[in-house]
Amino acid sequence: MTVLAKAIAEISWVTKSILILAMALSALPAVGQDTNFGKLALGADRTSGVLTGSTGGSTSLPAIVSNSDLHSVKCLGFGDPKPDHLLILQQDFPNLSVRVNSGGSDTTLVIQGPNGVVRCGDDMGSNKDASITDTNWKAGKYKIWVGTSAPGIQRDYTLTVQP
């Protein structure tokens, strides 16, 4: 075997090893991934946004966060123990609305913000999708869970956040 053929064989073995390692690492869960479906940052440059995800957990959301929120609204629903989304407010917002659109499925919404402040929402009017409209949103990180009224129900949704 020539020196060139040996070098190619050696490179080929190294390349194969790297590819196998890369495939194995891609199958592992992402280290530090703190949400199921992503983050949204709002501030002076961006004051609204949309996220997508799907429901489907069987864990009681009140058991994770709280039975009721800062306005004594009952927290409801079932979801995943890990938050679905992270909302990062880079400044205070005097008013903010968080709305789920799953095409009219019976969804719930639980948000845990800075200092453990909890906001919960269920149906909005005749629509079965959940929403929370509130005042005095302080800058910081907010964990968001989108749940369903019964465990294990999977529904795709969009989550809209706007002043």
| pLDDT tens track for 58-107 | 999 999 999 999 999 999 999 999 999 999 999 999 999 999 999 989 99
3-state SS, residue 23: helix
Q: Domain coordinates of the chain in residue numbers?
A: 1-31, 39-162
CATH class of segment(s) 39-162: mainly beta
Instruction: Give pTM, 2 decimals.
Output: 0.79
What pLDDT is stored for residue 123 in this prediction?
Answer: 76
Residue 101: CB atoms within 10 Å = 18
> Is 15 a residue whose pLDDT tops 60?
no
Q: Would you state the pLDDT for residue 23?
A: 41
Across 6-30, average pLDDT: 47
Residues 6+ apart with CB under 8 A from 141: 86, 87, 88, 89, 113, 114
Separation between Cα atoms, residue 128 and residue 162, nearest integer Å: 20
Q: Which residue has the higher pLDDT, 97 or 30?
A: 97
Q: pLDDT band at residue 1, thresholds of 50, 70 and 90?
A: low
pLDDT in the model for residue 127? 78
Task: Check residue 103 and give its pLDDT.
Answer: 93
